[in-house]
Chains A and B, each alone.
Chain A
Amino acid sequence: MASEPTVAELRELVAEFRPNAGHVLPSLNKVQETYGYISRRAIEVVARQLNTTPALIFGAVSYYSDFRTTPPPETEIAWCSGPACRLKGGDRIREAIQHTLQLPLNGHSDDHEYGFHLGQCNGTCTEAPQVWVNGKVVGNLTVAKAIELARDVKADS
């Protein structure tokens, strides 16, 4: 797991952003793209940079489902919750992976080695049912293949 960025690093990262210029999402996205998550410290730095309060920034962070406030797991299985995947057994795949990993949706192991995330359809439905492993599509799954994948992820960590 990467160590938490310092205030100085964060300040430099968001130095280009200005108050009242539509920069809340861009600055938060930049923090997350750089460090994988948005720490409490980052929220404070962004708030100061944008001349607003940490509460307001935290309000935005907590509103969106893809912002994280804790570091992402080493290996993440994101599950496609979309309709084509659902029609092809996607929900049974979710159930099976959750039981294999012993995690709820959007949960991660205590050591941050692996996690299970809710994903949205991005139109790669030719591969349904599918999951993304660290962003890469693993498609045309069967439930059995999904269980094996989850077991491998768990065993590797």
Chain B
Amino acid sequence: MNRTLENLILDAKNAWDAERSSGRELIGVCIDTSSIARGAEDTLAKIREVIAAKNLNIDVRVVGSWGFNWLEPTVWVRSAAGTHAVLYGNVTADRVEDFVQRTVVDGGVVPELALGVIEGNSLDGVGLIEDHPWMQGQVRRLMANTGVIDPGNIQHYLANSGYEGFGKALDMVDEDIIKLVLDSGLGGRGGGGFPAGRKWDFLRNATADPRYLICNADEGDPGAWVNRILMEGDPHLIVEGMLIAALASNAAAGYIYIRYEYPLAVERMQNAVRDAYELGLLGQDILGTGRAFDLYIIKGAGSYVCGEETGLINSIDGYRGMPRIRPPFPAQAGLWNKPSNVNNVETYANAPMILRNGAEWWANVSDTKEKGTKMFTLSGQINQTCCIEIPWGPTVRDVLEHYGGGMEEGSVLKGYQPGGPLSGMLPASEADLTLTLDPYRERGMFLGSGGIVYFDQKTSVVDLCTFFLGFCEDESCGRCTTCHGGTQRAVEVLRRIGVGGGRESDIEKLEGLVKTLVWSNCLHGQFAMTTVKLALRYFRDEFDMVIREKRDPSQSLAGLISYRVTRPDDPSIQAAAAICPVNAFVEKDGKLQIDDDPCIRCGACKELAPNAIEIVDRFPARATAEVTAAGG
């Protein structure tokens, strides 16, 4: 391996070992966007405060996420002897004083918060983290460092096999790197699954220079945050992955395009790039080899279609981020009309491991057509909102039960939505599909980049269609009339259906739009109607009921329900009336009632007076209506 790199790694490993045998306790605190939302910064501040107050001689490290999002803030404590470390969940600021006392001062464990031993042998009452039920079946490869190393410390990365894959690639010719990546079977993680090695080979064979590599960190699918977990937890993994791709394709420079909503990921990636430059891992003469690669971070400004690769390229180019008309493809004319290659964050992040451990090792973890591991984020009405890394292949239901902790109390699985707004919803009866690419392709949708949203019987499919189509309308770039006009029309029709104005002919209209939008230029327009297309296939009864009977089985469509006071004398009614944002409570015969006209169906009153207010169908049942009409 390159001598300079070898020395860098050796120094880093020595420093890492020295820290471990420092004789001081070390506290690791997960600071990422998910944990901050749950108060991790307060926990960190409190830990520092307690350390100062108690005059303790211990170190604190900021780390990324283990994926236990629902148990944040997570904190681990390594013993002074460096022999073991225990990970804890729900270490909120108010618990810190007691927590530090028991773990550091008394040198014990806090069993009620412990998740598992992350270094060393199991302890009294605390098992190994691998044995935690939620970790069963997970294989931590991409996430091997997240939650362990300080994402702001390049030395930590170097000490944990970091840049070793790049070191190997430096000793290989471009063709051999491509061959290795092709052999591994690494497919794009952004949703398409196209072999990464082939894309890199297109770029390698391009005839123009300079060539560019782009990392798609736009992660626009709401409900997906796997890329964020990597960028916030182990940013150098992506830098190294891109460096390897650069050696394979002879790219001169790279751009990492990160969405506006991820400021912490932007900051950590920027610092990682800066530190890599400082150590000579990036720049015009990398580690004295004469090889050159520059890397830049670009922060987006809020646009979903900028995640489409040509929209992204236009965005970096400085134009409106509108997807281009293809051909030419990016490999021929991309950024500044030069050959370019776009891959997802997770795609690049796999490259270091493939180089380090070989294609076979990397591939063998999954016995499906898809190789390697895949990260998923689970959300919705489930018990454990989380981020996991697993071999490909378990079913949607397995993952829900095992990692998502099942549906929340009072919730029954009605369906799920993988793949974001351009994919579709499937009913619970399809929850035994495996998490691989083909089952979704066969159904005219896609698995996507890793987000899976589970929904329950209290959810209206008409509402979800309106939501996803509304998203597609908002985010349409405006180029194709089929897309911007079509999504607009679809939203109008869906809204009308949702307020009880559905017509028999609406289904035909929506089906017409399904057929029309596929003529759009880019995948955004082509797939915008997927949600509706699949809803009409799998949830047709519900659509029919809403259109014909103007009744919503989930009783959640604002336009089809009314709120009614059932027990006006209940003391909770006063608070319910006071919370109403539109003053819909009126006195009738000395009693408070809800006036249906101004009521916006926000449901705040029922939250405060659950036993005194009920939801009823807004329109009388069809049969009754007909009888009345006939009689009158």
Q: Measuring CB to CB, which residues of chain A are less than 8 angstroms from any residue of chain B? A: 20, 22-26, 28-29, 50, 52, 56, 59-60, 63-67, 81-84, 86-89, 91-93, 95-96, 99-100, 119-128, 130, 137, 139, 142-144, 146-148, 150
Q: Provide the bound-state CA to CA distance between A99 and B300, in Å.
A: 31
Interface presence of B84 (CB below 8 A): no
Q: Shortest beta-carbon distance, B540 to chain A, in Å?
A: 21
Q: How many residues of B contact A (CB 8 A)?
A: 63
User: Of B12-20, B93-101, B218-226, B438-446, which binds chain A?
Assistant: B218-226
Which residues from chain A contact B318 at a C-beta distance below 8 Å?
20, 22-25, 50, 52, 56, 60
Contact assessment for B607 and A126 in the assembled complex, using a CB-CB cutoff below 8 Å: no
Known: A28-B301, A91-B467, A121-B225. 14 other contacts (CB 8 A): A25-B301, A64-B302, A65-B302, A65-B474, A82-B223, A95-B602, A96-B581, A122-B33, A122-B261, A122-B262, A124-B33, A125-B377, A126-B38, A143-B604
Most buried by B among A24, A65, A122, A128: A122
Interface presence of B134 (CB below 8 A): no
Pick 14 A–B contacts, CB within 8 A, sort by A: A24-B317, A25-B318, A56-B319, A60-B318, A66-B301, A86-B467, A91-B463, A123-B223, A125-B379, A125-B385, A126-B37, A126-B70, A127-B37, A130-B37
Contact assessment for B223 and A126 in the assembled complex, using a CB-CB cutoff below 8 Å: no
User: Of B139-147, B156-164, B352-360, B453-461, which binds chain A?
Assistant: B453-461
Q: Provide the bound-state CA to CA distance between A120 and B604, in Å.
A: 23
The A contact surface, by secondary structure, is helix
Q: Provide the bound-state CA to CA distance between A29 and B299, in Å.
A: 8
Which residues from chain A contact B335 at a C-beta distance below 8 Å?
22
For B265, give the chain A residue with the smallest CB separation: A122
Which residues from chain A contact B299 at a C-beta distance below 8 Å?
25-26, 29
Q: Provide the bound-state CA to CA distance between A148 and B581, in Å.
A: 10
Which residues from chain A contact B262 at a C-beta distance below 8 Å?
122
Contact assessment for B607 and A124 in the assembled complex, using a CB-CB cutoff below 8 Å: no
Q: Provide the bound-state CA to CA distance between A82 and B38, in Å.
A: 18
Q: Shortest beta-carbon distance, B608 to chain A, in Å?
A: 6
Contact assessment for B320 and A60 in the assembled complex, using a CB-CB cutoff below 8 Å: yes
Q: Shortest beta-carbon distance, A127 to chain B, in Å?
A: 5
Q: 0/1 per residue, B316-357, Cβ < 8 Å to A?
A: 111111100000000000011000000000000000000000
Q: Provide the bound-state CA to CA distance between A142 and B608, in Å.
A: 10
Contact assessment for B225 and A122 in the assembled complex, using a CB-CB cutoff below 8 Å: yes
For B226, give the chain A residue with the smallest CB separation: A123
Interface presence of B600 (CB below 8 A): yes
Contacts A60-B319, A60-B320, A88-B381; A22 near B600 (Cβ below 8 A): no
Which residues from chain B contact A87 at a C-beta distance below 8 Å?
380-381, 453, 455-456, 459
Contact assessment for A120 and B302 in the assembled complex, using a CB-CB cutoff below 8 Å: yes
Contact assessment for B558 and A92 in the assembled complex, using a CB-CB cutoff below 8 Å: yes
Contact assessment for B604 and A147 in the assembled complex, using a CB-CB cutoff below 8 Å: yes
Complex partner residue of A137 from B37, B228, B456, B602, CB under 8 angstroms: B37
Which residues from chain B contact A137 at a C-beta distance below 8 Å?
36-37
Contacts A84-B453, A126-B38, A142-B604; A22 near B296 (Cβ below 8 A): yes
Contacts A22-B255, A83-B223, A137-B37; A123 near B296 (Cβ below 8 A): no
Q: Provide the bound-state CA to CA distance between A25 and B603, in Å.
A: 41
Which residues from chain B contact A100 at a C-beta distance below 8 Å?
581
Q: Provide the bound-state CA to CA distance between A122 and B223, in Å.
A: 8
Contact assessment for B558 and A25 in the assembled complex, using a CB-CB cutoff below 8 Å: no
Count of A-B residue pairs with CB < 8 Å:
169
Q: Provide the bound-state CA to CA distance between A65 and B608, in Å.
A: 36
Q: Shortest beta-carbon distance, B519 to chain A, in Å?
A: 23
Which residues from chain B contact A84 at a C-beta distance below 8 Å?
223, 379-380, 385, 453
Contact assessment for B463 and A25 in the assembled complex, using a CB-CB cutoff below 8 Å: no
Q: Provide the bound-state CA to CA distance between A23 and B317, in Å.
A: 8
Q: Provide the bound-state CA to CA distance between A120 and B302, in Å.
A: 9
Q: Provide the bound-state CA to CA distance between A32 and B176, in Å.
A: 45
Which residues from chain A contact B373 at a C-beta distance below 8 Å?
none
For A89, give the chain B residue with the smallest CB separation: B603
Q: Provide the bound-state CA to CA distance between A26 and B318, in Å.
A: 10
Interface presence of B582 (CB below 8 A): yes
Complex partner residue of A81 from B34, B222, B224, CB under 8 angstroms: B222
Q: Provide the bound-state CA to CA distance between A26 and B455, in Å.
A: 38
Contact assessment for A143 and B381 in the assembled complex, using a CB-CB cutoff below 8 Å: no
Complex partner residue of B301 from A29, A86, A139, CB under 8 angstroms: A29
Q: Provide the bound-state CA to CA distance between A128 and B408, in Å.
A: 13
Interface presence of B417 (CB below 8 A): yes
Q: 0/1 per residue, B400-441, Cβ < 8 Å to A?
A: 000000000000000001000000000000000000000000
Contacts A82-B222, A87-B453, A88-B381; A67 near B582 (Cβ below 8 A): no
Which residues from chain A contact B36 at a C-beta distance below 8 Å?
137
Interface presence of B579 (CB below 8 A): yes
Contact assessment for B379 and A83 in the assembled complex, using a CB-CB cutoff below 8 Å: yes
Contact assessment for A25 and B298 in the assembled complex, using a CB-CB cutoff below 8 Å: yes
- Which B248-303 residues have a C-beta within 8 angstroms of A? 255, 260-262, 296, 298-303
Q: Provide the bound-state CA to CA distance between A91 and B463, in Å.
A: 10
Q: Shortest beta-carbon distance, B42 to chain A, in Å?
A: 11
Q: Shortest beta-carbon distance, B588 to chain A, in Å?
A: 22
Contact assessment for B222 and A121 in the assembled complex, using a CB-CB cutoff below 8 Å: yes
Which residues from chain B contact A147 at a C-beta distance below 8 Å?
579, 581, 602, 604
For A32, give the chain B residue with the smallest CB separation: B301
Q: Provide the bound-state CA to CA distance between A92 and B37, in Å.
A: 22
Contact assessment for B385 and A143 in the assembled complex, using a CB-CB cutoff below 8 Å: no
Q: Provide the bound-state CA to CA distance between A26 and B385, in Å.
A: 33
Q: Provide the bound-state CA to CA distance between A22 and B417, in Å.
A: 35
Q: Provide the bound-state CA to CA distance between A144 and B608, in Å.
A: 8
Contact assessment for A99 and B463 in the assembled complex, using a CB-CB cutoff below 8 Å: no
Contacts A22-B316, A87-B459; A123 near B34 (Cβ below 8 A): yes
Q: Provide the bound-state CA to CA distance between A146 and B607, in Å.
A: 12
For A151, give the chain B residue with the smallest CB separation: B581
For A38, give the chain B residue with the smallest CB separation: B301
Complex partner residue of A99 from B316, B453, B467, B600, CB under 8 angstroms: B600
Interface presence of B69 (CB below 8 A): yes
Which residues from chain A contact B225 at a C-beta distance below 8 Å?
121-123
Q: Shortest beta-carbon distance, B308 to chain A, in Å?
A: 14
Which residues from chain B contact A50 at a C-beta distance below 8 Å?
318
For A132, give the chain B residue with the smallest CB separation: B37
Contact assessment for B319 and A65 in the assembled complex, using a CB-CB cutoff below 8 Å: no
Most buried by B among A67, A84, A87, A143: A87
Which residues from chain A contact B303 at a C-beta distance below 8 Å?
63-65
Interface presence of B601 (CB below 8 A): yes
For A88, give the chain B residue with the smallest CB separation: B381
Interface presence of B471 (CB below 8 A): yes
Complex partner residue of A95 from B260, B464, B600, CB under 8 angstroms: B600
Which residues from chain A contact B379 at a C-beta distance below 8 Å?
83-84, 125, 128
Which residues from chain B contact A124 at a C-beta distance below 8 Å?
33-34, 37-38
Q: Shortest beta-carbon distance, A111 to chain B, in Å?
A: 21
For A142, give the chain B residue with the smallest CB separation: B607
